[in-house]
Amino acid sequence: MTDLRELYQELILDHNKRPRNRRKLESANRQCDGYNPLCGDRVTIFVKVKDDVVEDVSFEGSGCAISTASASLMTESIKGKSLAEAKAVFERFHNMVTSEESAKSPESSLGKLQVFSGVVRYPARVKCATLAWHTFNAALASKIETVSTE
Ligand code: ZN
């Protein structure tokens, strides 16, 4: 458990306790459900896209602290971004949690998302941290089926 402590940093605990943008977005024009069977995390991502910009984004669902905090921080960091920028953030985030090299010196442009760099050492947690992102990506593609991280 001591090793896990570094994963559960204050920012993650705070976003798990008080998730930002956790609500149904009535004006959403993109939506997708995601499921991580390894951990049991479930998430629904709502996106309102206008003129290729993420005008608003929210989520609903329940899961472990990592998945909830990740969804919360994701909505904060991509709201207002262009679709291209949001996808670029996803790629940098994905790199950081899957590559030891990237995790060592996360891109400063990731801002608060850098708090997830410790996840790279817990492969089972990578899916918790990326579930909301994969689901967001699928929502943009207007897929309506449930996304599984498997
Ligand atoms: Zn999880």
Q: Is 118 exposed, middle or buried (0-12, 13-18, 19+ CB in 10 A)?
A: buried
Whole-number Å distance, alpha carbon 86 to ligand 1 midpoint, is 23
Kindly tell me if the per-residue pLDDT of 121 is higher than 80.
Answer: yes
Q: What is the pTM of this model?
A: 0.90
Whole-number Å distance, alpha carbon 104 to ligand 1 midpoint, is 23
Rounded Cα–Cα distance for residues 132 and 86 (Å): 13
Q: Express each pLDDT in 127-145 by its tens digit.
A: 999 999 999 999 998 644 4
Lowest-pLDDT choice from 23-27, 32-36, 82-86, 143-147: 143-147
Whole-number Å distance, alpha carbon 65 to ligand 1 midpoint, is 7
Whole-number Å distance, alpha carbon 71 to ligand 1 midpoint, is 11
Q: How many domains does the chain have?
A: 1
Return all residues near 31 (Cβ < 8 A) that are at least 6 apart. Answer: 44, 45, 46, 47, 139, 144
Q: Express each pLDDT in 42-53 by its tens digit.
A: 999 999 999 999
Whole-number Å distance, alpha carbon 51 to ligand 1 midpoint, is 33
CATH code: domain of residue 26: 3.90.1010.10
Whole-number Å distance, alpha carbon 39 to ligand 1 midpoint, is 5
Residue 7 lies in domain = 2-148
Q: What is the mean pLDDT of the chain?
A: 91
Tokens representing 108?
A: 């400063």
Q: Give the type of residue at 81.
A: K
